Each structure stands twice: as structure tokens, then as C-alpha cells.
Amino acid sequence: MALAAPDFPDLASRGLVEGVARVISVDGGTAWLEPEQSTACGSCHSAAVCGAKPGSARLVARRFQMPNDHDFRVGERIVVGTPEETLRSASLTAYGIPLLLMLVAGVTVQKLGGSDLQAMAATVAGLFAGLVVVRLKSQKLTARGALAPQYLRRAFGSDAECGLDRSSKD
């Protein structure tokens, strides 16, 4: 029996974190996609546990758009990728900067003889200062398009996580 050869990812897609997304709507040259539960959790289809069922508010909030260069159709599942380096730097930016500012502010106030309440106030102020820095930095990254996922290929059987094809269930 002849099997159709899947379009394997090209070499340029190595070093990318892959995820499967479903096309929700197509509006002219733009396609809106909703990510499926990624491989972050070992029990990736335990949707009842983490609430990330298709169409859930959590996934709706993570919808993104992409240029419709590959003639996407509504309901189609495609594989998108983000460079590993982007994920690493995004994690450090989002969580590292507020934590660092928060701890530096709190420890500084305490070492200067401040009370627990003063240290707490400084820590909270540091946290919000850090979040403002994150906002500015992420605006720059977004403007450069560094955080946008890239189209890799159309999803086929082996792209269904945990060996299950969710498209048949929905």
C-alpha cells in the first residue's frame, strides 16, 4: 500500500518549539488561529484538569493571527514554531526582570534598616516597576516580530500529541 509522503520540516525549522494550532477564521489575507494544548504538560490531553479544552476561555485568550500565505481553510490544523531562543529569552524577560527588581528593592530596604512592612512595600513596588519594564521590552520585541510564531507545515497524524488526533473528536 502506497503511503503519501508527509511534508517533513525543512532544516530551517530545527531549533524551533513546535505546536499545533487550528485555523478558526480566515479574513482575506489574515488567518486567526487557536493553539491546541501543547506538550508542556505530560498528560497533554487531561483537558479536564487544566481547563485548556478547545474553545475554552484560556485558549481563546491565546488566539493569534498569521498572514494567510498558504491558503489556510477554517478547521485546518497546522504546525507553527517559535525559536527556542525566543522562548528562553521571553521566559527570562517575563519572569526574571520583575523578580530581580522585586528582590533587589526588598533586600535593599531591609539592609537599610527598614521594617518588614517597609520591605513588603518596597518589594511590591519593585514588582510593579519590573512589570512596567517587561511591558516596554515586550512592546519592542513585538514590534520586531520576534514573538510571532512561524508557519512550518500542515499537521498530519504524528503531529497529534500523545498519539491522539483531536481533530476527529471536535
Shortest separation between residue 1's beta carbon and other proteins, angstroms: 27
Is residue 118 a contact partner of residue 108, using CB atoms and an 8 Å limit? Answer: no
Q: Which of 52, 80, 152, 155 binds other proteins (CB under 8 A)?
A: 52
Size of the site for other proteins (CB under 8 A): 54
Smaller CB separation from other proteins, 94 or 160: 94
Shortest separation between residue 80's beta carbon and other proteins, angstroms: 11
116 binds other proteins per the rule CB under 8 A: yes
Q: Which of 24, 26, 104, 107 binds other proteins (CB under 8 A)?
A: 107
Residue whose C-alpha is closest to residue 123's, from 92, 94, 99: 99
Angle at which helices 97-111 and 116-144 cross, to 10° = 150
Smaller CB separation from other proteins, 76 or 161: 161
- SS3 label, residue 29: coil
Q: Which helix (H) or strand (E) holds 67?
A: strand 64-67
Is residue 162 a contact partner of residue 45, using CB atoms and an 8 Å limit? Answer: yes
Mask: binding to other proteins, 73-102, rule CB under 8 A, as x and -? ---------x-x-xxx-xxxxxxx-xx--x
Give the whole-angstrom CA distance, residue 96 versus residue 102: 10
Residue whose C-alpha is closest to residue 80's, from 166, 167, 159, 11: 159
> Where along the sequence are the contacts to other proteins (CB under 8 A)?
17, 35, 37-43, 49-52, 58, 61-62, 64, 82, 84, 86-88, 90-96, 98-99, 102-103, 106-107, 110-111, 116-117, 119-120, 123-124, 127, 131-132, 134-135, 138-139, 141-142, 147-148
